Structure 1
């Protein structure tokens, strides 16, 4: 009886236009309206990119066997699909056939204890739409990013210890660093679906300590700390297969040719500090999130902000930059010392992930804010405090994925309040309990 009364209430209210009136005033973008789903994010329906959102909240607390979740939502934050993972999820990639690859954080064990902790994962799984595990790869040394290649193989990152004379040379750059402590670099490697390694690139064999030196980081057990890897079918320098990778601790983004292993391009010294998530754009430019970690202000009045930078690797010219604004509060909204990402969308807008506070937003090329969201999905945090941080997030268009028949639109025409309420009461077919 209660559901029937609510059903007729919504039908009656929609016929009278009450939802439109409610949205006009209560959802006014000048207000700071919030709901249990987070912010009410669509600020400009005409300018926002019509695409779905994929997020996998990240647990920054202890690496315990807590399990995780991956959420697919529309632009109003309404949950359309959900996957559960055995371990805490980190980075997820949705594929054309609706399968999802997800890296997960293995619980602490003797196999993982000797590796550096930041970004550690240890397992990658492939799940079907229903959440069944179709494939798994385990390696306690893998960390941060991965990508599925066009041939079905995967490219991954794992730690590798640096020893001998090279270790001594690199460690000598660090005041107070004990040369007897373990010291790490990275290997970029490709595996087939059966786990066989078919290609490797050892950073320590190609980096130059005089060029690829430490950034201003106090925690220095890693030389490189590779936190992102992207496959390039044709790189903009030689036109051949290559990989785009981010070396956080040296403040460099690299383009490495696959066949020769040569470093074709290094981002200019000092441009990036603690950067994440470089991607290659269709115009051959590189888009990346510069965390600006430990960047020193140039004056006493300057407030340092993270930045989104687009750079042409053929000329090193900066083609575009988004900073946090002029005031301290504006700059703080864009700042995160760790993680984060930037994605160029099909309509030319840029989707940005500010990881630590779980803040996601979209801006036009003119830097107009058209979508603004706070991740409402929390995981286990530290002590009593919940945590809604995200390593990164992705947007997917209608033609990117073979969606199920009659799958809801990423930008529904129904007013937000009515749409949320109607789905909560009448339509739960796409939500996994």
Structure 2
């Protein structure tokens, strides 16, 4: 299967920007669709998911729409994935839940290459709702993010310091044909707090790096304290990577556990159950040492090299960056020690900014494709940081994905 998913910063990190592999290109022109034809990846088309117009499009570098998918008047719940048989799976919005934070969805639909509907399934109710992102797995299951309601009374028993309901994250793997839940994980099973010593999950946050500090973002008045927005499953290592926007970090979760083990701190390949086996980007979330490299974050894009690209939405206070990390599993979190991975590449620009959504993908020739969310622009940049191409014709981009022109998906679509 082909899948196309391609508040803090220390003075040291700012000073070291000049030494990064890809330097800022501040002379780029946001109104120009194409800066130069030299070096652009003409062997790739671009899949654009535009939530502003509820549209999913396949375009070329001339900006021509090769394919537009008919969503039959329904609203995108953000993600869409193009499969190698030319089918498209989309997340759509449902109307049966009051959980309506930005990025909510609730329903998944698979649209065949001939535009017929293969299957459709909902995961949405008054107390939970699928949102933002999903992965279509090689076994035919779908893995997706879920908000679940925790009442104020329940939150109080978890040591939450504010008197309000909260909506922590969950992850569900579901068979879309049988509607059977195959596996699930819940953040609420893996919390720590040092606010109320009478609660079972009381502990020193810095001494528990594998646990999630439930009070890190307790001032979030709507209860959406975590706001995960992206997930990627590495099926080889059976690890899930999750971008958690309001914690400004990436969480790594062991998918090799059973559902029962995922609710505990034992079992699975790492014998940590559903506790975080690794996390990076913002060590302040667990009062740890190390450089902060993320401030708001979208899309954990695991590359074939084993490195990861992420879009850091606001790392330079009104300026975004695309960051590539060198990941080195097997992972370990050590309390009180710097656990952060090495940054191997970064691109930023004074005109690159979106506080929400956005993505970065590596193209076949080594360029990086960037979808700049609220700006509605697509950038293609070289390894050296040169802006090679821009498209400004879109509205509110969720993500953009490079698609090889000779891929099975393109062939299946008759292009």
Short-chain TM bin: 0.7 to 0.9
Q: Unaligned 5+ residue runs, structure 2?
A: 1-26, 194-204, 206-211, 257-267, 269-273, 284-291, 329-339
How do residues 385-404 of structure 1 correspond to structure 2 at under 5 angstroms? Answer: 388-404=395-411
- More contact order relative to length (CA 8 Å, sep ≥ 6): 2
Instruction: Please list the CA deviations of residues 240-266 of structure 1 after superposition, one character each: whole Å capped at 9, or x if unmatched.
Output: 311111111112201111123342210
How far residue 394 of structure 1 moved from its aligned partner, in angstroms, is 1.2
Structure 1 residue matching 2:410: 3-state secondary structure: coil
2:361 to 321, 338, 343: 343
2:130 to 123, 142, 146: 142
Moved over 6 A (4+): 30-34
Q: 1:88 maps to what in 2? A: 75
- TM-score normalised by structure 2 residue count: 0.72
How far residue 133 of structure 1 moved from its aligned partner, in angstroms, is 1.4
* 8 A Cα contact 1:49 1:349, kept in partner: no
Structure 2 residue matching 1:393: 3-state secondary structure: strand
Q: 1:97 maps to what in 2? A: 85
Larger Rg: 1
Structure 1 residue matching 2:132: 3-state secondary structure: strand
How do residues 162-173 of structure 1 correspond to structure 2 at under 5 angstroms? Answer: 162-163=150-151, 164=153, 166-167=155-156, 171-172=160-161
CA gap 1:203/1:280 in 2 versus in 1, 3 angstroms: same
How do residues 1-400 of structure 1 correspond to structure 2 at under 5 angstroms? Answer: 40-41=33-34, 43-59=36-52, 68-86=54-72, 87-89=74-76, 90-106=78-94, 109=95, 111-113=96-98, 115-140=99-124, 141-163=129-151, 164=153, 166-167=155-156, 171-172=160-161, 177=162, 179=163, 181-194=164-177, 195-209=179-193, 210=205, 212=213, 214=216, 219-234=221-236, 240-259=237-256, 260=268, 261-268=274-281, 269=283, 270-292=292-314, 304-314=318-328, 316-324=341-349, 331=350, 333-376=351-394, 388-400=395-407
Q: Measure the CA separation in 1 of the matches of 2:219 and 2:38.
A: 42
Superposition RMSD on alpha carbons, in Å? 2.7
Instruction: Please list the CA deviations of residues 319-341 of structure 1 after superposition, one character each: whole Å capped at 9, or x if unmatched.
Output: 111122xxxxxx2x211111111
Q: Measure the CA separation in 2 of the matches of 1:122 and 1:405.
A: 28
Q: Unaligned 5+ residue runs, structure 1?
A: 1-29, 61-67, 235-239, 298-302, 325-330, 377-387, 409-433
Q: Measure the CA separation in 2 of the matches of 1:170 and 1:116.
A: 25
Q: Size of the alignment, in residue pairs? A: 327
How far residue 41 of structure 1 moved from its aligned partner, in angstroms, is 3.2
CA gap 1:230/1:167 in 2 versus in 1, 3 angstroms: farther
How far residue 288 of structure 1 moved from its aligned partner, in angstroms, is 0.3
CA gap 1:262/1:373 in 2 versus in 1, 3 angstroms: same
